Amino acid sequence: MISYARWKFVLVGSALLFGILLALPNLFGEENALQLARDRAAVLPGDRTSIESLLASKGVTESGAFLDQGRLTLRFASKQDQLKARDIINDARPHDFTIALSQASRVPEWMRNLGLNPLKLGLDLRGGVYLVYQVDVAGAVRQLLDHYEQDFRASLRAARVPYQDVLVDYPGNRVQVLFHDAESFAKGRTAILGDSRTLILTDTTVSGAPALELKLGAAQIKERQDYAVQQNIVILRNRLNSPELAVSEPQVARQGVDQIAIQLPGLQNSAEVKKILGKTATLEFRMVDETNNPLEAATSGHAPLGSKLYNTRDKQPVLLKREVVVTGDQLTDASFQPNTQDGPAVSVSLDSRGAAKMLKNTQENIGHLMAVVFIDRSREKNAEGVDVDRVTEEVINRATIRGVFSNSFQITGVNPIEGRELALLLRAGGLAAPLSAVEERAIGPSLGQDNIDKGRNAMVFGMLAAFLFMAIYYKVFGLVADIVLIANVILLTALLSLVGAALTLPGIAAVVLTVGMAVDANILIYERIREELRNGISPRAAITAGFERAFSAIADSNVTALIAGIVLWLFGTGAVRGFAVVLVLGIATSMFTSLMGSRALVQLIYGGKRKVDHLSI
């Protein structure tokens, strides 16, 4: 009998069953859907019941509904029902929900509970949203000038150098530091250059007073503008690739001098995603002013000296000290913790500078209150259609310092939706310059469906041709190869569904290429078996020798293809990366099915026979 370890049969069978389970959701298809979300709260089961009752009273019935991560998704059998339901909900509850047009899979509830999801499709196959944002590069230059102004003031204060003022000339792209006399001028120059030795300062005179001037050159301005665009691209990618948004294979690329183009496959007018993209969120940690009365300050409209008036989420006034303990730019990481002893929380990590400040502050203020100020900056259009910056500052947490801590702690007092969003924005970082939307286009799925049909036809006809050739030329072994090819496609689909990679049109080409590579691997094995038979060895020995001696050739060819795929994945973007992902996963599945799956089937056919006189190959 041909020896083949039982654990290999178990491995092949388990992998195939697991692959079939993961690939099964792709058989159910998708429907038009509405996604409902609240601004700072989760959608509750009671909301789902009331929405379903509302739609039923208007003669609209959804084909399915489910809650996921605080959002409600409603599926509809037709586009007309989807749009009608949106209008009904908007009219009845205009301020309760953010509604996004989308598509949702028809997978059963038990599959969704197991986390089984269908294969995601790219923008070229599924349609979606195409956004173009304008980067305020002039604002990025102004931010740089403001940064220099603050640094100059800090350097002069630290060195105890008296000065008149620090002036920022935005049109002239320059910062001027005015001094009282020549002595303070000399000390000021030393102090500023001591902290920033790379700066080039020019001596000048402003209104008869000695002054230092920093003027940005054309190269510096362009460098700052390029930095703002590239940094915003990185931040937008981080936000879109976060699990909180769950956008499949987003594509973010620079367009022109100061624009960023974004492709979001499968989304249609997703208001929630757009809301997150343009936001800049940060935190400030301040001590609470426990001496003065915040109600008196709110009534008079004036905060005591050294304090600043804020409001909590409940619109209650609170006085905080003006001195900031730690700022958001000192955060290194943030993650959402849904279940802690004090409810949902955001775990925060600080850099060494922030940790030192927090350690000193907690050591000196045990038993006193410290507050967390949430600062939300976004750009919106006003009633006249002009872009305006909106800044919201509110206290989200006040807690008594009960122990000493430094670089790691938790922020409580947030709900699940708000906690996930806050962790996302803090982790991704703040935008280097404000964004404003200049174009939004929903791409319908009609062209994508045509691409899907053509790609599917190419794959089906290509596989049928390979199946027929293998069955006719290699007989029983050819049928084994056909079964292996089908298993290869199932496992590849399962892996793509598992990792959440989006299938694009180039990805379909990679699937066809993978099938060809799998056929090639089987041909190498079978030709090796035929060669051994021609050399006069027994059928059993020919099978063993064929699989063992063909391994090196199969491994060499697949390793070189794997290297190429990894390089494409590392350095490619968009469609190129989509091709590379499918290629790399396809190489893994084709190697497994050709070497282990094919061997297991051959063992089942010939391994149990006492005597094998002939191989149908």
pLDDT at residue number 288: 92
Task: Name the average pLDDT for the chain.
Answer: 81
Q: Distance between terminal CA atoms of the chain?
A: 19
CATH number at residue 172: 3.30.1360
State whether 514 and 581 are in the same domain.
Answer: yes
pLDDT tens, residue by residue, 99-150: 777 778 888 888 888 888 888 777 777 777 788 888 888 878 887 888 788 7
Whether residue 269 is contained in a domain is answered as: no
State whether 470 and 598 are in the same domain.
Answer: yes
Mean predicted confidence (pLDDT) in 425-429? 60
* % of the chain at pLDDT higher than 70: 86
Whether residue 14 is contained in a domain is answered as: yes
State whether 48 and 156 are in the same domain.
Answer: no
Q: Which of 111-120, 336-345, 604-613 has the highest mean pLDDT?
A: 111-120
pLDDT tens, residue by residue, 210-256: 988 888 888 888 888 888 888 788 778 777 765 455 555 577 888 88
Mean predicted confidence (pLDDT) in 388-407? 79
120-121 and 502-503 strand pairing: parallel
Q: Tally the domains of the chain.
A: 4
CATH number at residue 67: 3.30.70.260
CATH number at residue 536: 1.20.1640.10
Q: Residue 258 to residues 137, 251, 305, 466, 532: CA-CA distances in angstroms?
A: 7, 17, 43, 49, 65
Whether residue 111 is contained in a domain is answered as: no
State whether 423 and 289 are in the same domain.
Answer: yes
Residue 212 neighbours by CB under 8 Å, 6+ apart: 176, 177, 179, 185, 188, 189, 192, 201, 202, 203, 204
State whether 424 and 491 are in the same domain.
Answer: no
Whether residue 93 is contained in a domain is answered as: yes
State whether 408 and 450 are in the same domain.
Answer: no
- Poorest-confidence range of 68-77, 85-94, 454-463? 454-463
For 118, which DSSP code? P
CATH number at residue 386: 3.30.1360.200
pLDDT tens, residue by residue, 194-209: 766 567 888 888 888 8
Euclidean distance between CA atoms 410 and 33, whole angstroms: 36
Q: Residue 245 to residues 40, 70, 322, 356: CA-CA distances in angstroms?
A: 15, 12, 35, 34
Whether residue 209 is contained in a domain is answered as: yes
Mean predicted confidence (pLDDT) in 430-447? 69
State whether 465 and 413 are in the same domain.
Answer: no
Whether residue 274 is contained in a domain is answered as: no
- Find residue 437's DSSP bridge partners: 133
State whether 208 and 322 are in the same domain.
Answer: no
Euclidean distance between CA atoms 345 and 323, whole angstroms: 25
User: Domain end: 221, 250, 266, which one?
Assistant: 221
Mean predicted confidence (pLDDT) in 481-486? 89
Selected residue with higher pLDDT from 424 and 46: 46
211 neighbors 179 (Cβ within 8 angstroms):
yes
Selected residue with higher pLDDT from 437 and 274: 437
pLDDT at residue number 449: 66
Euclidean distance between CA atoms 320 and 324, whole angstroms: 9
Euclidean distance between CA atoms 252 and 236, whole angstroms: 7
State whether 415 and 448 are in the same domain.
Answer: no
pLDDT at residue number 275: 64
pTM as predicted? 0.60
Euclidean distance between CA atoms 80 and 85, whole angstroms: 9
Domain that holds residue 194: 138-221
Closest of 375, 398, 394 to residue 287, by C-alpha: 398
356 neighbors 377 (Cβ within 8 angstroms):
no
pLDDT tens, residue by residue, 489-535: 899 999 988 887 778 778 888 888 888 888 888 888 888 888 888 88
317-327 and 369-381 strand pairing: unpaired
Whether residue 494 is contained in a domain is answered as: yes
Residue 319: pLDDT over 90:
yes
State whether 207 and 95 are in the same domain.
Answer: no
Whether residue 450 is contained in a domain is answered as: yes
User: Domain end: 221, 238, 257, which one?
Assistant: 221
Residue 552: pLDDT over 90:
no
State whether 455 and 561 are in the same domain.
Answer: yes
And the tokens for 438?
Answer: 């200049």
Q: What is the DSSP string of 489-547?
A: HHHHHHHHHHHTPEE-HHHHHHHHHHHHHHHHHHHHHHHHHHHHHHTT--HHHHHHHHH
Q: Phi and psi (nearest 5°) for 426? A: -70, -40
pLDDT at residue number 17: 93
378 neighbors 279 (Cβ within 8 angstroms):
yes
Q: How confident is the model at residue 1 (pLDDT cuts 50, 70, 90)?
A: very low
Euclidean distance between CA atoms 453 and 458, whole angstroms: 9
User: Domain end: 174, 205, 221, which one?
Assistant: 221
pLDDT at residue number 20: 92
Q: How confident is the model at residue 21 (pLDDT cuts 50, 70, 90)?
A: very high
- Poorest-confidence range of 350-364, 380-394, 457-471? 380-394
Q: Phi and psi (nearest 5°) for 503? A: -90, 125
State whether 450 and 363 are in the same domain.
Answer: no
pLDDT at residue number 475: 87
